[in-house]
Structure 1
Amino acid sequence: MTIHPSATIHPSAVVEPGAHVAEGCQIGPFALIGPEVTLGPRVTVKSHAVLTGWTDVGEDSVIFPFATVGEVPQDLKYAGERTRLTIGARCRIREGATLNTGTEGGGGVTRVGDDVLIMTGAHVGHDAQIGNRVILVNNVAIAGHCVLGDDVIVGGLSGVHQWVRIGQGAIIGAVTMVTNDVIPYGLVQAPRGELDGLNLVGLKRRGVDRGNITALRAAYQMLAQGEGTFLDRARRLADETDSPHVREMTDFILSASDRSFLTPKGAK
């Protein structure tokens, strides 16, 4: 066990032998830090939080009360193999959230990027890959093996089916079930998850220039109404575009998918 002398640990907290606690960490009352947990510099673990398993937490992250971070996967195939959870820098994991380690069959690692906000009661399943600056609103459920790109927002009470990919910059409305892949910068809403346009507000907030937004809007219209199948349209777009944002969209569509895609409303 390594505890930096500058760390502050409440007397009622349990830090098990083998844990690593870096400089400036604060561990609150009745928190539990397991033997394979590593806390980076200035991590705060508030009262009654549980960090266990082979779990690494990046610098300046905060774990709020009653969160459970690094428990074993909710997968009947899991047989006790040693798997991992990594959490990036400056993350906020709010009250009652749950994050599981990976499984051997899924690569063995659940990853959460930097500057991620996981709100109250949200769940990140085994082997999920969560990008940077992602926001999971209250009670979101991310199933096993999902991949969420950077800057994704998932609205409250929404669920994402296992193996689904959500591209960078996409937004999922509240109370939505997502069962198919979502293109980068897509806007998904309705109870059964319909692709209903682009996340234009998010694009503008991130400072994407007007030319690229115009190119994305034209690309979306082509995907919705062009000739041929959805994949045929994406291939034509890939050949014709010089926009890096459209290229990202077409690369996503033309890469391997386990769940197929949500297609634009009204697409043929």
Structure 2
Amino acid sequence: MQNRLSVLAGEGQLVTDTLAQAATAGFDVQVLSLTARTDLSDWAPVKCSLNNPIGIILTLRAFKTTHICMVGGLKVSDKQRAGLFGLLHRKSKKKRNSGDTGLSRLIGALELTTGAKVIGVQELLPDIVAQPGLNAGPRLSTEVLAHCEHALACARQIGALDIGQAVVAAGMRIVGAEDIGGTDALIARIGRYRADGLTGDGTTPLILAKAKKPEQPASVDLPAIGPDTVRAASAAGISVVVIEAGGTLLIDKANLFAQAEALGVSILAIGEV
């Protein structure tokens, strides 16, 4: 039987990269567009909405999909989260958690409902997964490396509370944490704090740390950074980005590294693949 891949498409370049690779790999591809895009016309996208989760399920079933891949940025409201959880766990008597860790548990229910396997984008594009060590930018001192370890550990703690995936540190002090607004909003806040003289004027660099939430499966919403992340971070006074090796996606990697080198932003991946 031919493998049939349904891509639930959000925002960003990673969507088109994934579609091209899926076609090369021999998948029959269906695109469910969950955001307004003008660059997917070659893929005959089916416009879908998280406000109508049953419509998404029926579309997947009609295609007889064998694999599902969720790709790209997506804003999900409280109402949409509740609708998704209610549909896929309508028979469950367990306490519902509609946060990101709760939604992550819906993967098994989605697979059961559709008969398809949910895969991570890194299974199609393995080269975008961060490798251990200094990926780009200036070398870091022993002191700053210790600060990076601390910042990444704090990012994991924020994730354990299901708040976000990222923090910003000034030395061993956490000066900001990601919330519902996402990483871009966190970076923008740090820029404002720096402009107000609240942080960023010490002897150690500001560090952005991103980490996968402890209960988060690898098939959904892995932390990602790209050229835009580095440009925004640099503008906000952040000169180090620390991520998890094997657990972070590098969007437009060549351009990302080039931007980091040009702006003097260090990208450090900690851990093993």
Per chain length, whose mean CA-contact separation is higher, i.e. which structure has more relative contact order (CA < 8 Å, sep 6+)? 2
- Report the structure number with the largest CA radius of gyration: 1
Name the structure where helix makes up a greater proportion of residues: 2
Name the structure where strand makes up a greater proportion of residues: 1
Give me the TM-score of the superposition, normalised by structure 1: 0.23
